[in-house]
Structure 1
Amino acid sequence: MAPKKKSQAPATPQARLKAVINSARQIMRKDAGLNGDLDRIPQLAWLLFLKAFDGLEMEREITEDDFSKAIEEPYRWRDWAADRINGLTGNELLQFVNDDLFPYLRDLKGNAERDPRDVLAAVFKETHNRMDSGYLLSDVIEQVNKVDFTSSEDIHTMAFLYESMLREMRDAAGDSGEFYTPRPVIRFMVQMIDPRLGEIVLDPACGTGGFLVEALEHLHPQVNTVAERNDLAFDLRGIEKKPLPYLLGTMNLLLHGLARPNLMKSNALSQPLTEIKRADRVDVILTNPPFGGEEERAILANFPAGAQTAETAWLFMQLVQRMLDQGGRCGIVVPNGVLFADGAGARIKKDLLTNCDLHTVVRLGSGVFAPYTDIPSNLLFFEKTGPTKEVWFYEIPTPDDRKKYSKTRPMKFGEFADCIEWWGGADRRGRVETERAWQVDASAIAESGWNLDLKNPNRPDDLTHRPPAELVAELIDTEREIIGLLEELESEVGSVQ
């Protein structure tokens, strides 16, 4: 009697889709036109984008009485990519994609606000097919067709896998001061800002859309009607100037259920501050703007003469203040240098504390943004409700078993638990000084030259966030003491001889 074959448990959706994505990436490794993940992931992204968009269009055809096609035949995914038996392949496929499909998508024009055709045109304006082999492209398309974007289970799982690919691409790039913001940091900032349904939430440097996706998930339980869902899609807004992050961010929001992501492909710094109107202002800003980069002179001219600096972090610090409506709230990531900088930086901080209530500075340890940088970063939380009276500082310590975070041992959301408990809810009442928390009057900050890089008085041995000048001066004093002791010892030894 032949032994029974062991029945294999059906693969989980995550395992099945991961296998599909891995197969597609293995196929792309054979193509001469692609060099590494910086080419492969964007290539896979636009294919997934068109497949997902077509799935949403098919759903809208059924659910919307006044449905109007965004993409006409024969440019829909179902027309040229879904049928691999009778579909295009080889040179015919390449020619269609390069000479017909992409020019068509780039020339689309909408006739209403947030028309999907305008989104498609913006996404594909600077997106290109990077594969040289039409046969390999056909094989990749066959893998993409295994993803069912009309299945809520597949969409949820694909969103998870997509975010892992975004991390990989950021690991491969990680330059120009543009760092992938770890999900625990995003989640903490969103929870502390606590956006509410009906508020406009903006990320003026949205990248791949991490803050907007987290805000969407935070707000989703508050949605009860289709109208509220549509309003939420309109109220979650992002601006991104680079084509690839814009495509990835749009795709990210599509995968999380927003059929019409409200993203703008533009440089948020390109508009003069004086021209930002009341109608342009928003209720909530959540962002991690690029820092360490530089902007062209034309951009600097949009800012006050005394605050024109090429450092992008300082420009965004000014922008978010102006874009907040009265009573609005902001959470922003800044590098350590922002806290202790003088000159133009001090003037910008003075404006911040004069015009807004900088109520909390959360200080992160080294390596939170590994592998991109080990520079300590800070989370600034402020409201446009009047001048600052006092600033609370809170340090998030690294775990006891390490000196800093790393790519392989990243920060976890649970490490914010003590800070969340200390925060004091929406009104921030009941805060007390602890080993990790302390309060400083705004007047003392003004007297220090608007320095926010203040030593924790409850942890005198802490060196992580002390000003560099203070550390250098202390080191010099120590060296002088050592030299003095050596000279005394030399004198004693000489006298004995």
Structure 2
Amino acid sequence: MSASTSTTKPTDARSLVAKLWNYCNVLRDDGVSTIDYVEQLTYLLFLKMAHEQVNRPFNKATELTDVAKRWQVLLDSDAAALEDAYRETLHDLGQQPGTLGVIFRKAQNRIQDPAKLKRLIVDLIDKQEWSSESVDVKGDAYEELLHKSAEDVKSGAGQYFTPRDLITAMVDCVQPTAADTIADPACGTGGFLLAAHRFISGHSTHLNPDERAALGEGTITGTEIVDGTARLAAMNMLIHGIGRPDGESPIAVKDALAEAPARHPSVVLANPPFGVKSSITVIGEDGRTGRETISYNRDDFWTTTTNKQLNFVQHIASMLAIPGRAAVVVPDNVLFEGGAGETVRKRLLNQFDVHTLLRLPTGIFYAGGVKANVLFFDKKTARPGQPWTDTLWVYDFRVGQHFTLKQNPLRREHLDDFVACYRPGEPRTNRVETERFRPFTYDQLIKRDKVNLDITWLKDPALDDADSQLPPEVIAREIVEDLEAALSEFAAIAEALSGPKDTPEQN
């Protein structure tokens, strides 16, 4: 068997992405979606990188030897035999534990034309020496591929993709360190975890060997319920130097809400899935049972609800270590919904230091109809009889801000003022009130109807100034997003009203 050789070395991530992405247009005519294409690249890149690792000069025996042989089999197979060899490889590796199992679990070949699959393997993947590229080039290239796949609205991939500039601003505020353990219970493609890793690496110039090793394996973990998304996250982490291809994956594939957390990280960064109705019901300490046929007993929760976001807020509150800090993207309904929502907000304000709320503008998420916020809160040692929240600072970045995904996308500099007002690393007593940044005391918050945290005071200047009317396309987009949000809420209400009634427990 001959080792593969490298004849092309793109000098940056952009040229690498262009090289790989151009072939997507060829496959699209065969019905291969952008997200399917990225999945196939993930399988093949893993095999090629394993092959490179095993065939390095003076390389010792490795657990990836059998995996590396699979790549050589694909290279040596003619078009007629390639499809069967590829299918067998995906099936066999999907049965393995650790990172291998996460990346190849339930993997399928979506490229039905053997000649095109052969070209992808031989002409595109094999001619690139992936191991010789820096982590930044490989990592940035893979992130760009994920970004491109998120733009494919039909595939729905965007629902797992949080805008990277928003993630960066959140991480800049939380400021994780090498001493932290970091987790995301709904990690999608791993954007928060990678941003935290990048922040620590860039701000910790004196990491000792143990800290550097922990940063690459064990310190940063995520949970993702969807197999396909989990494989993208695992590969994203691996290609950025987090985890080992022959070791335990930093990404767990499971429903994070199904059981009480076994680990208690000091930092949680998350954008839980949007949508009101959950596929499960959680039984909280109030003992109430929801309408779903599948129930999970979580006595570490404050209340029972089928609202996924409220359950994730409770889960994150439960999983945080003491001391711990969290930054979580939540839709508007988490801030104003009554019943379970009011219970969660009261408990959160009382038992946690809920110190900052960022109201996000519309038009920044790939999922339509999203009105969201970022909630920052800290977990500290209990102090009975006294609420932990003293002052909630609200930054209104929604009023007067109008973004679109392509013509006017959100960029990191748009959040510079918020981060400056947040004053990362400083005592919150140093904060200064501005037009967009206002403090609200615990007493003010608890007296609001249903402890409603959906607080606004600014008026959109475009509504009063005839000379500053918004472009028609922006107005139309905002109308569509408002309608989509309303329809989502009505659909959830209708589903709840038509759901099955509670039934007695079966012995």
Q: Is the TM value for this pair above 0.5?
A: yes
Counterpart amino acid of residue 327 in structure 1:
P
Q: What's the counterpart of residue 167 of structure 2?
A: 186
Pairwise mapping of residues 37-56 of structure 1 onto structure 2 (< 5 A)? 37-56=34-53
Distance (Å, rounded) in 2 between the aligned partners of 1:151 and 1:453:
50
Q: What secondary structure is seen at the aligned counterpart in 2 of 1:325?
A: coil
Pairwise mapping of residues 214-225 of structure 1 onto structure 2 (< 5 A)? 214-221=195-202, 222=204, 224-225=207-208
**Pairwise CA distance, 1:374:** 4.2
Q: What secondary structure is seen at the aligned counterpart in 2 of 1:295?
A: coil
CA RMSD of aligned residues (A): 2.9
Given that residues 200 and 282 in structure 1 are in contact (C-alpha distance below 8 angstroms), is that contact kept between their aligned partners in structure 2?
A: yes
Q: What's the counterpart of residue 336 of structure 2?
A: 340
2:99 pairs with 1:119? yes
Given that residues 178 and 289 in structure 1 are in contact (C-alpha distance below 8 angstroms), is that contact kept between their aligned partners in structure 2?
A: no
Distance (Å, rounded) in 2 between the aligned partners of 1:264 and 1:368:
28
Q: What secondary structure is seen at the aligned counterpart in 1 of 2:100?
A: helix
Distance (Å, rounded) in 2 between the aligned partners of 1:49 and 1:315:
35
**Pairwise CA distance, 1:134:** 2.2
Q: Which of 248, 259, 281 lines up with 2:264 in the alignment? A: 281
Distance (Å, rounded) in 2 between the aligned partners of 1:416 and 1:177:
21
**Pairwise CA distance, 1:300:** 4.6
Structure 1: tracts of 5 or more residues without a match? 1-9, 110-117, 469-497
Q: What's the counterpart of residue 395 of structure 2?
A: 394
2:223 pairs with 1:239? yes
Q: What secondary structure is seen at the aligned counterpart in 1 of 2:144?
A: helix
**Pairwise CA distance, 1:416:** 1.5
Distance (Å, rounded) in 1 between the aligned partners of 2:177 and 2:67:
42
Distance (Å, rounded) in 2 between the aligned partners of 1:204 and 1:11:
35
Distance (Å, rounded) in 1 between the aligned partners of 2:293 and 2:157:
19
Given that residues 17 and 147 in structure 1 are in contact (C-alpha distance below 8 angstroms), is that contact kept between their aligned partners in structure 2?
A: no
Change over 3 Å in CA distance of 1:159–1:60 after alignment to 2: farther
Distance (Å, rounded) in 1 between the aligned partners of 2:127 and 2:238:
18
Distance (Å, rounded) in 2 between the aligned partners of 1:255 and 1:11:
16
**Pairwise CA distance, 1:179:** 4.4
Change over 3 Å in CA distance of 1:139–1:186 after alignment to 2: same
Counterpart amino acid of residue 409 in structure 2:
P
Which one has a bigger Cα radius of gyration? 1
Q: What secondary structure is seen at the aligned counterpart in 2 of 1:269?
A: helix
**Pairwise CA distance, 1:92:** 1.2
**Pairwise CA distance, 1:219:** 0.9
Q: What's the counterpart of residue 251 of structure 1?
A: 235
**Pairwise CA distance, 1:397:** 5.2
Given that residues 54 and 76 in structure 1 are in contact (C-alpha distance below 8 angstroms), is that contact kept between their aligned partners in structure 2?
A: yes
Moved more, 218-227 or 293-302: 293-302
Distance (Å, rounded) in 2 between the aligned partners of 1:450 and 1:57:
59
- 1:52-87 CA distances to partner (integer Å, 9 max, x unpaired)? 34445556974xxxx652334375355324xx4xx1
Distance (Å, rounded) in 2 between the aligned partners of 1:258 and 1:167:
20
Q: What's the counterpart of residue 254 of structure 2?
A: 266
Q: What secondary structure is seen at the aligned counterpart in 1 of 2:323?
A: strand
Q: What's the counterpart of residue 91 of structure 1?
A: 80
Given that residues 363 and 378 in structure 1 are in contact (C-alpha distance below 8 angstroms), is that contact kept between their aligned partners in structure 2?
A: yes
Q: What's the counterpart of residue 415 of structure 2?
A: 416
Given that residues 330 and 373 in structure 2 are in contact (C-alpha distance below 8 angstroms), is that contact kept between their aligned partners in structure 1?
A: yes
**Pairwise CA distance, 1:98:** 1.4
**Pairwise CA distance, 1:133:** 2.5
Change over 3 Å in CA distance of 1:20–1:403 after alignment to 2: closer
Q: What secondary structure is seen at the aligned counterpart in 2 of 1:249?
A: helix
Counting aligned pairs with the same residue, the percent is 27
Q: What's the counterpart of residue 70 of structure 1?
A: 63
- 1:374-433 CA distances to partner (integer Å, 9 max, x unpaired)? 4321110000025212211112257x7x64443331111111111222222323331122
Q: What secondary structure is seen at the aligned counterpart in 1 of 2:161?
A: coil
Counterpart amino acid of residue 36 in structure 2:
D
**Pairwise CA distance, 1:330:** 0.2
Change over 3 Å in CA distance of 1:246–1:76 after alignment to 2: farther
Given that residues 258 and 296 in structure 2 are in contact (C-alpha distance below 8 angstroms), is that contact kept between their aligned partners in structure 1?
A: no
Counterpart amino acid of residue 368 in structure 2:
T
Distance (Å, rounded) in 2 between the aligned partners of 1:149 and 1:181:
27
Distance (Å, rounded) in 1 between the aligned partners of 2:51 and 2:210:
23
- 1:427-451 CA distances to partner (integer Å, 9 max, x unpaired)? 3331122101111111221121211
Counterpart amino acid of residue 146 in structure 1:
K
2:455 pairs with 1:454? yes
Change over 3 Å in CA distance of 1:96–1:425 after alignment to 2: closer
Moved more, 134-143 or 157-166: 157-166
TM-score by length of 1: 0.78
Q: What's the counterpart of residue 310 of structure 2?
A: 314
Counterpart amino acid of residue 375 in structure 2:
L
2:339 pairs with 1:356? no
Distance (Å, rounded) in 2 between the aligned partners of 1:59 and 1:323:
42
Change over 3 Å in CA distance of 1:23–1:202 after alignment to 2: same
Change over 3 Å in CA distance of 1:60–1:354 after alignment to 2: farther
Q: What's the counterpart of residue 73 of structure 2?
A: 80
Q: What's the counterpart of residue 471 of structure 2?
A: none
Q: What secondary structure is seen at the aligned counterpart in 1 of 2:130?
A: coil
